[in-house]
Amino acid sequence: MSESPDYEIIDDTVFELRPHKPNLTTPGRVCLRKNRNFTNRYLALAEEFKQCRMVEVGVDRGGSTSFFTKLFQPEALLAIELSKKPLPVLTEFLAQHDPQGKINLQLGVNQADPVRVPELVDSTFADNPLDIVVDDASHLLQPTTATFEMLFPRLRPGGLYIIEDWSFRHLIERGITHTMMADSSGEVAEKLQTTVRKAQSAFDTPMSFLICQLVIASGLQIDWITDMRVTDGFCELRRGDADIPAGTPISSYIGSVGSKMFAANSV
């Protein structure tokens, strides 16, 4: 039976929603690796962030960059990606849909680089504040925290900071648990346990740790974070109008009480 994927049309572009599969079912469309809930949220933000100044952290194969280009029609968009591998599909898309060169695509950039990332933001936006930042990059605690510390202070008052897929490690656990419960023979459970043991060294503190810290921050630094919205894998933070020095560490967001709460698993 053939698959009938979900899709979204913006102007003349058809985006095929393929969050778990990078291959299109229909030629000529753009593969957008986001689920419907994520896509709908961005659609709801479209009017507010038209002609925005935006940073996208984590480009993957370029579908989201194409999506943001059409949806927000940004004044300027800095898109950074760790991989140095060329993205010909995205390059071709931008050649057609971004003739004025408003999209600054930068490959081979580590999201936690304390020198390169601010340099790129400065060269792209000069002294102008950012309107929106989307972090859909490593999904690891330390680099995600480092990016937040660098870029959240750069937002304008009322600007939006979005962290995607913060719950993916918990989704993996849920999937493993359901698989094991359905495994009457025990063979699958044994294989899963072996795989987890081998990969244990790569399992750092999950990214949800940062989300918990930001909950504390939204209650303490109410002039820094005026609103926080957390759903399944999607976290939004509204920037307040108080001054936040560039590079302010997360410990300053959560204060002494919060720091004691998280001391056992600090980054």
* pLDDT bucket at 1, cuts 50 / 70 / 90: very low
Domain range summary for the chain, segments of one domain joined by +? 37-166+207-265, 169-201
- Token pair 């510390």 in the structure block, residue: 149
**The two structure tokens encoding residue 252:** 């300053």
Q: Is residue 101 pLDDT above 70, yes or no?
A: yes
Residue 171, pLDDT score: 60
Give the pairing of strands 225-231 and 234-239. antiparallel
In tens, the pLDDT along 115-144 reads 999 999 999 999 999 999 999 999 999 999
What value does the mean pLDDT take over residues 24-46? 95
Residue 108 contacts residue 82 (beta carbons within 8 Å): yes
**The two structure tokens encoding residue 229:** 């919205």
Q: Tell me which amino acid residue 87 is.
A: L
Q: Is 255 left (phi over 0), alpha (psi -120 to 50) or beta?
A: left
Name residue 164's beta-bridge partners. 234
* pLDDT bucket at 150, cuts 50 / 70 / 90: very high
Gap between the Cα atoms of 212 and 262, Å rounded: 9
Report the predicted TM-score, pTM, of the whole model to 2 decimal places. 0.89
How confident is the prediction for the chain on average, in pLDDT? 90
Q: Is residue 202 pLDDT above 70, yes or no?
A: no
Residue 201, pLDDT score: 47
In tens, the pLDDT along 38-94 reads 999 999 999 999 999 999 999 999 999 999 999 999 999 999 999 999 999 999 999
What Å distances lie between residue 209 and 43, 61, 266, CA to CA?
28, 27, 9
Q: At how many degrees (to 10) do helices 141-151 and 250-262 cross?
A: 140
Residues 6+ apart with CB under 8 A from 182: none
Residue 232, pLDDT score: 86
What value does the mean pLDDT take over residues 200-211? 77
Q: Is residue 157 pLDDT above 90, yes or no?
A: yes
Residue 184, pLDDT score: 63
* pLDDT bucket at 263, cuts 50 / 70 / 90: confident
Best CA proximity match to 169, nearest among 132, 194, 134, 144: 144
In tens, the pLDDT along 163-195 reads 999 987 666 665 566 565 666 666 666 666 665
Residue 264, pLDDT score: 64
Residue 168, pLDDT score: 73
Secondary structure of residue 107 in the 3-state scheme:
strand
Gap between the Cα atoms of 90 and 45, Å rounded: 23
Gap between the Cα atoms of 132 and 237, Å rounded: 10
* Domain at 37-166+207-265, CATH class: alpha beta
What value does the mean pLDDT take over residues 228-249? 96
Q: At how many degrees (to 10) do helices 208-220 and 250-262 cross?
A: 110
Q: Is residue 214 pLDDT above 80, yes or no?
A: yes
What Å distances lie between residue 89 and 17, 75, 100, 158, 189, CA to CA?
16, 22, 18, 34, 40
Residue 247 contacts residue 114 (beta carbons within 8 Å): yes
